[in-house]
Chain A
């Protein structure tokens, strides 16, 4: 190898640094990375039988979207983030009770028509549990049950997913600690999935076109790019929001969270206009009744051995409130989310299958 003189080395180093500097300036000047982020829909994800069968024109859907078949659904697009509709005969929401966590997930998904309905072959899947702190093991119900997460990873791979990543960015302790202590890393690896970290440079400032209060946020890019998102929150108490469930779980994919804590209910709903999981599985194997979201006292934990699954995130969250003796409207983000058309909270008219 020929030797590089010092002058040559320095000049090439300077050129490289200059290029980086110019690039940073360009980024700062608003040359945005070209990301094809599907726009959110502001219509209910599940089918509403009483509505007329014409697709509404309010939807802004990317060019590739095609109108799907028989079911009268307000919007059908095959883009990554819009949830799929429930075919006739299928329940809107399934509650599985009693048994081992993995068994509960499998039964719930079977009743919803199988995981294949949500995870096409070759899809890149991201499963997003709640791994908010590194403080306690799963028994304390501060983090999602590892076997529930593991079961979903396994089933996605069985359905032919090309990759299944599991991630969260908590607030207490480092992510790697939290992944390990929660037990989720172990079960995900055993199931064949991958625990992914969320480096700062992969957060992209993204417009939230349908946001009412939150118009812009820095969102983890892989979440926006994934073919299928599966939301796996644990149902637990939370001081400000009262409960943290599926919709609030998406706070784990944004960086600037202190900006969201004012007018929390509206801003969580706004975030949910952009991030649309195809499936929400609420882990209520153990729920945290008080002193959430961090927990730490087993007396606050109630073992229910329950899993709630639905393609409609608002419906899943709505049902979960009943486990705490609350009504869906007691939780700001559910009430606002339902009003914004993100899903349905009228438990009375939902088709719920309890198994």
Chain B
């Protein structure tokens, strides 16, 4: 290396420090795009609550996701017009490679933000290149399983991870922190007014008017923290080695138009190798990179002291690497997927539902399991947070599909939001009138726990709450003899099963401690599987 090169290397290294460095035009453009995309994603997330933005707008991110759209297509053999948006992402990839990952993906941006700073300044030891094949294995398993009607592993799609975590962990926790601050400051007389106004300003527009509760909040936070923590092994660890969507876009990038090329005058200063967040610039191959791994972040472009890196259009199939899927891996994935699907089909849950597997309105009849892309949009939009990620009810196969837990929230008689917001119509888009007659479960009274039945005291909360115009609970006056010999007349609630739609407000409001004295059970199967 000449003195001149060394000097410029020093200079660039200095510039490359993350604090206060003047980034070049390309990097600035990329970062602005990334933050804007993340902002749009979060805004759409915030206003995907019922009463926010139109439902076919808030689910745009999921419909832009080609992995979700393709697997849904394979599993159902039906194409939804709205899903054509995914073609935009595919077209983008065919032109610019994995630009989605580097420029748009909100999870990618989060990983860039929390990436340890020293990665960009020091030489590092990356995990073996063969690890990169994991994402392709996952992708193949997901695609083959989808062909047999199983979408379980879409829980690993980056967008579903982010929406699920925001819905079940981050937002409710943020809400609790703000409630604690408000409660505290409200007690200070001079702050009571401003706090009250602040609350009026943020609720119900940004935070819910009532705190939301989700099960396993810690679990979802832990998964998310895990994905971020992997960043400390290597930058964008998730995107390089694990992300099935990244794998899919990587395969498409083998055909992409714009490719990174290095000029022949390269002196091998290794600056670009060190700065590359996906570690794909290979010094042994003349500092070339794999278009399937490159996220088009353009860091190398502006790092190169001699400006030898160009991104030029060209038509060719990219080189096949050792870690790219081979026949053995494809067969193994194929076998694994078929074995898993067969095991799921022979699982007892395929024969008998668990008693409390109450699904969102209209979903059961439509084979929710093979339609649901696990995106958690329905749980986000549900105004009462009645829809919860399934953990046990639907088995491993139905992990994190929506299930209605009436003790946590009830299906609001005035709401049909989940069906409207579902990007793949796994929950059918019922009109409000149709939803009001849609049977999602049936309520049963536990006479051993009911205040009226067992304690002979009037309660009737379930009857009061029942939203059915003619009431699905009727009251029978019965005389009882107390221990002391006195006679009491008690109104005993009874469910008129044929009227009950299973909305669960009776179970939600039942004043009995712990398990309610009236519970909603899964309805009889209406369409054979």
Choose among B209, B459, B475 the residue that contacts A261 (Cβ–Cβ < 8 A). B459
Across the interface, which residues of A come within 8 angstroms of B180, CB to CB? 20, 24
In contact, A176 and B51 (Cβ under 8 angstroms):
yes
How far, in Å, is A267 (CB) from chain B's closest CB?
Answer: 12
How far, in Å, is A179 (CB) from chain B's closest CB?
Answer: 10
Known: A20-B184, A239-B460. A171 touches B179 (CB 8 A): no
Task: Give Cα A296 to B413, complex, Å.
Answer: 11
Task: Give Cα A126 to B7, complex, Å.
Answer: 74
Closest CB pairs A-B (n = 9)? A296-B469, A258-B511, A297-B469, A201-B183, A134-B414, A240-B460, A173-B414, A239-B463, A23-B184
Task: Give Cα A300 to B186, complex, Å.
Answer: 44
Across the interface, which residues of B come within 8 angstroms of A171, CB to CB? 465, 509
Task: Give Cα A181 to B412, complex, Å.
Answer: 13
B108-138 with Cβ < 8 A to chain A: none
Residues of A in contact with B, size category: 35 or more
In contact, A200 and B210 (Cβ under 8 angstroms):
yes
Task: Give Cα A196 to B200, complex, Å.
Answer: 8
In contact, A294 and B466 (Cβ under 8 angstroms):
yes
Across the interface, which residues of B come within 8 angstroms of A135, CB to CB? 413-414, 467
Task: Give Cα A199 to B204, complex, Å.
Answer: 10
Across the interface, which residues of A come within 8 angstroms of B186, CB to CB? 201-202
- 29 A/B residue pairs, CB under 8 Å, sorted by A: A20-B184, A33-B187, A34-B189, A134-B412, A135-B467, A171-B509, A172-B505, A175-B204, A177-B383, A177-B414, A177-B415, A197-B200, A197-B203, A197-B209, A200-B210, A201-B199, A239-B463, A239-B464, A240-B458, A240-B459, A240-B461, A240-B464, A258-B461, A259-B511, A262-B458, A262-B459, A262-B511, A291-B469, A291-B471
- Is residue A125 contacting chain B, with contact meaning CB distance below 8 A? no
- Is residue B15 contacting chain A, with contact meaning CB distance below 8 A? no
B474-521 with Cβ < 8 A to chain A: 475, 491, 505, 509, 511
Choose among B209, B412, B463 the residue that contacts A199 (Cβ–Cβ < 8 A). B209
- Is residue A10 contacting chain B, with contact meaning CB distance below 8 A? no
Task: Give Cα A231 to B443, complex, Å.
Answer: 35
Across the interface, which residues of B come within 8 angstroms of A240, CB to CB? 458-461, 463-464, 491
How far, in Å, is B197 (CB) from chain A's closest CB?
Answer: 11
How many A-B Cβ pairs are below 8 Å? 122
- Is residue A295 contacting chain B, with contact meaning CB distance below 8 A? yes
- Is residue B264 contacting chain A, with contact meaning CB distance below 8 A? no
How far, in Å, is B431 (CB) from chain A's closest CB?
Answer: 15
Give the dominant DSSP class at B's interface.
Answer: loop
- Is residue A27 contacting chain B, with contact meaning CB distance below 8 A? yes
* Contact string against B for A residues 157-171, beta-carbon threshold 8 Å, 1 for contact and 0 otherwise: 000000000000001
How many B residues have CB within 8 A of the partner chain?
A: 45
Choose among A19, A174, A202, A300 the residue that contacts B209 (Cβ–Cβ < 8 A). A174
Add 13 more A-B contacts to A34-B189, A259-B511, A262-B458 (CB < 8 A).
A20-B184, A133-B414, A135-B414, A171-B465, A172-B505, A174-B210, A174-B383, A174-B412, A177-B50, A201-B183, A239-B460, A258-B461, A296-B469
In contact, A173 and B465 (Cβ under 8 angstroms):
no
Task: Give Cα A259 to B200, complex, Å.
Answer: 28
**B475: nearest residue on chain A (CB-CB)?**
A239
Task: Give Cα A294 to B182, complex, Å.
Answer: 33
Across the interface, which residues of A come within 8 angstroms of B451, CB to CB? 262
- Is residue A293 contacting chain B, with contact meaning CB distance below 8 A? yes
- Is residue A117 contacting chain B, with contact meaning CB distance below 8 A? no
In contact, A297 and B470 (Cβ under 8 angstroms):
yes
Task: Give Cα A355 to B212, complex, Å.
Answer: 49
- Is residue B11 contacting chain A, with contact meaning CB distance below 8 A? no
**B181: nearest residue on chain A (CB-CB)?**
A20
- Is residue A238 contacting chain B, with contact meaning CB distance below 8 A? yes
A272-318 with Cβ < 8 A to chain B: 291, 293-297, 300
Across the interface, which residues of A come within 8 angstroms of B414, CB to CB? 133-135, 172-173, 177-178, 181
- Is residue B345 contacting chain A, with contact meaning CB distance below 8 A? no
In contact, B467 and A133 (Cβ under 8 angstroms):
yes
Across the interface, which residues of A come within 8 angstroms of B383, CB to CB? 173-174, 177
Task: Give Cα A259 to B458, complex, Å.
Answer: 13
Across the interface, which residues of B come within 8 angstroms of A20, CB to CB? 180-181, 184
- Is residue B196 contacting chain A, with contact meaning CB distance below 8 A? yes
Across the interface, which residues of B come within 8 angstroms of A197, CB to CB? 199-200, 203-204, 209
- Is residue B211 contacting chain A, with contact meaning CB distance below 8 A? yes
Across the interface, which residues of A come within 8 angstroms of B459, CB to CB? 240, 261-262
**A197: nearest residue on chain B (CB-CB)?**
B209
In contact, B467 and A172 (Cβ under 8 angstroms):
yes
Known: A20-B180, A177-B415, A258-B509. A172 touches B464 (CB 8 A): no
How far, in Å, is A35 (CB) from chain B's closest CB?
Answer: 10
Task: Give Cα A294 to B187, complex, Å.
Answer: 36
* Contact string against B for A residues 225-269, beta-carbon threshold 8 Å, 1 for contact and 0 otherwise: 000000000000011100000000000000000110110100000
In contact, A172 and B209 (Cβ under 8 angstroms):
no
* Contact string against A for B residues 440-473, beta-carbon threshold 8 Å, 1 for contact and 0 otherwise: 0000000000010000011111011111111100
Task: Give Cα A300 to B471, complex, Å.
Answer: 12
Across the interface, which residues of A come within 8 angstroms of B412, CB to CB? 134, 172-174, 177
In contact, B209 and A133 (Cβ under 8 angstroms):
no
In contact, B509 and A174 (Cβ under 8 angstroms):
no
How far, in Å, is B386 (CB) from chain A's closest CB?
Answer: 12
Across the interface, which residues of A come within 8 angstroms of B413, CB to CB? 133-135, 172-173, 294
Across the interface, which residues of B come within 8 angstroms of A133, CB to CB? 413-414, 467
Choose among B179, B463, B464 the residue that contacts A201 (Cβ–Cβ < 8 A). B179
